[in-house]
Amino acid sequence: MSDAPPQPVKLALSSEQLQQDFIRVTMDRIPDPRWQYGLVVRKNVTKLRPKDGLAPPDAEHPVRSLGRLYREDVEADLEVYGIQARFEVDPVAWLEEWLRFNGLTPSATLRWPLLGGISGDIVAEWTIDGVRFAGRFATFKSGSRLFVACCRARRENYDRIADDFFLALSQFKLVQSDPTPLAEPLRYADGLSPVPWKLCVPGSWQVLSVEKDGPGGTIQAAATAPPASDRAAVAATTPFPGLPERDPIDWFAPTWSAQLSATLAPSFIVNSWDAAADLCLSTLRDAGLELEEKVFVEEAPLGRFEKSRSLVTPARLRGEPGAEARSRLANIGPVWFLSAGVGVARSVNPHAWMRNARAHDLVAQTVELEL
């Protein structure tokens, strides 16, 4: 029998229990409604820690507690963190890095794709002075605001609060939502062939060129390092609020550099999956990349596309290790989409890696076509 902490995904409480034993509360001690939220907790035994959750995230503190509750009947707490995101990234990737940096080991991870990126729900374990603990951490995102709701308890107590915390997650609601799910504005390019189209990349990327005079269209973009003083850009490698603060890690500026290209082509130029793959692989080869893997795998299509295949592989750039290449092939009707990108591996700079991975997905997710 597995000793892994449970991760409920269905309510195990009757409607009568919900009405009798639980209450909805709104956490509004921070005046700014953008950082206020509501959730459902167990009556009578859930109390507020008054010194936590009094200030929103800011430039110096991009991660802050937005409120901490504790249970009187069992040694456990529930806390919500707020993060001011600098880049558009997948929330689950951000959470993975934050937990890893703080020494927590994931036991199980749930992922689900949303318009604002892949969200996540992670159960983790850790040990302090020989005592085992377990917790569940889940992400919510609205625009540039990222929220992490979590519960924590000694391992022997965790199972007693698992269902209650799932109820809190299922009823979590922001007081104020953003009009867009994305953390950054977008840069657009458009053209008329092979059909009227629009492609976009996150605003932190620079559009280098747009080719739209031939039978297809191509956009090329590049990303560079943020200012060294930008703490929000590297917030995933900061201690949990309440722990001793540290100076931000000084990530080597060139590791932030990345390239991304996306092409829309008619079927008389790209007429098969093999032809599309050969074109993408030759583009990566011409950029000086030696790929460890070269096989595209089927995936759930993004945006408007009907079918899609992708490749993510470690690579050497001009003979040097530490790079990662990404490529995607997608199709709808007479139109083919091909993208290729290169940046650093996750182990080299996780912040740049998160930004690059999300940009590569976003360019496919947001394609507009007039078919």
Mean pLDDT, consecutive 10-residue stretches, the chain (371 aa), reads 86 91 97 98 95 95 97 96 98 98 95 96 96 97 98 96 96 96 97 96 98 95 96 96 88 97 97 97 94 98 97 96 98 97 98 99 97 92
Does 9 map to a domain?
Answer: no
Does residue 356 share a domain with residue 213? Answer: yes
The predicted structure's pLDDT at residue 248: 82
179 domain residue, yes or no: no
Neighbours of 241 (CB within 10 A): 18
pLDDT confidence of residue 137: 99
Amino acid 2: pLDDT: 65
Q: In terms of domains, do 263 and 310 share one?
A: yes
Q: Which domain range does residue 28 map to?
A: 15-174
Q: Which CATH number is 325's domain given?
A: 2.60.120.1690
Comparing C-alpha atoms, which of 100, 95, 71 is closest to residue 85?
95
Which CATH number belongs to the domain containing residue 142 in this structure? 3.40.1000.10
- pLDDT tens by residue, 276-327: 999 999 999 999 999 999 999 999 999 999 999 999 999 999 999 999 999 9
Which of 125, 145, 174 delimits the end of a domain? 174
> Same domain, yes or no, for 220 and 352?
yes
SS3 assignment, position 78: strand
Q: Determine contact, residues 72/62, Cβ cutoff 8 Å.
A: no
pLDDT of residue 3: 83
**243 assigned to some structural domain:** yes
Contact 261, 283 (CB under 8 A): yes
Question: Among residues 174, 206, 225, which one ends one of the domains?
Answer: 174
If asked whether residues 277 and 218 sit together in one domain, one would say: yes
pLDDT of 353 reads 99
Report how many domains make up the chain: 2
Give pTM, 2 decimals: 0.96
